[in-house]
Amino acid sequence: MSGHRLLAVTFPRVLAAEWSKLTSVSSTLWIALGTVVSTLSLAFALGLFVRAGDAVSGASVAVSGSLFAQLGMLVLGVLVGAGEFSTGTSTVTFAAVPRRLPVLAAQTLVTVAVALPTAVVCLVGSALVTTAARSAAGLTLDPADAGTVRILAGYVLYLTGVALFGVGLGALVRRPTGALLAGVVLFVVLDQLLATNPGRITDVLRAALPAAGTRLFADEGALPTHLGAGGGGLVLGAWVVAALAAAAYRLRRFDVT
């Protein structure tokens, strides 16, 4: 009986196992470092083009490297969700955890544990590397300003949400390349294509895409009247929930190979 208790599958043990898997592979560290370096580089480069009189705030300059940041977070999430399916070790994992859903739940938590601090490092680092550009343009970064807090916090929340969407998408598609391609299309390609043809219909379509979450850290003047920061966050949240729910359904109803 005592041996049975020692071998019992509990959520803390599943969580510990998923954390061990994520932190034991070097790719996790390299993805996090690559995300930070590329984000800071883009923010610094874009900061060089900021001039006094531009309709931007100091906070928006600090988060201007979001394109590379979201791509890095997407890669992180997809690899967490689809990694074991691509290597074939998923059968071993789900044989040990027959209920399956605790594995997905643990993967979402460990992804947050990595994505959230990585997003914070991206934010702080970007703020530092754009200091000179903001000063030259006369733009301030006031942490006591409500609008600034909303942009900075929204940036971190958005990136974490992208990583979680990646987990759901990866676990649903089960192929890292296919899941990553689908994520890039949803977050970048479709949004940019629709942005080149503004209009009532295309604006509504853009507002329904997961990239609507970027409104969480958009300047007040750049927020469309029909979908503010809160609305954009809800749209992204809905996509995250839908992706995780679809992945959970497939885990429960279909084979894991």
Confidence class for position 3, pLDDT limits 50, 70, 90: very low
Q: Is residue 1 part of a domain?
A: no
Amino acid at the residue 139: L
Give pLDDT tens digits for 99-158.
Answer: 889 999 999 999 999 999 999 999 999 999 999 999 988 888 888 888 899 999 999 999
Reply yes or no on whether the pLDDT at 68 is more than 70. Answer: yes
Q: How many domains does the chain have?
A: 1
Average pLDDT over residues 18-23: 92
pTM, rounded to two decimals: 0.92
Q: Is residue 3 part of a domain?
A: no
DSSP alpha helices (H): ranges in 48-175? 58-62, 66-87, 90-96, 101-129, 131-136, 146-173
pLDDT at site 124: 96
Q: Is residue 4 part of a domain?
A: no
Q: Which domain covers residue 16, as residue numbers?
A: 10-253
Q: Is residue 201 part of a domain?
A: yes
Distance between CA atoms of residues 54 and 190, nearest Å: 27
Tell me the Cα Rg of the chain.
20
Q: Is residue 71 part of a domain?
A: yes
Q: Is residue 78 part of a domain?
A: yes
Q: Is residue 140 part of a domain?
A: yes
Distance between CA atoms of residues 252 and 249, nearest Å: 5
Higher pLDDT, 240 or 11: 240
Reply yes or no on whether the pLDDT at 6 is more than 50. Answer: no
Q: Is residue 2 part of a domain?
A: no
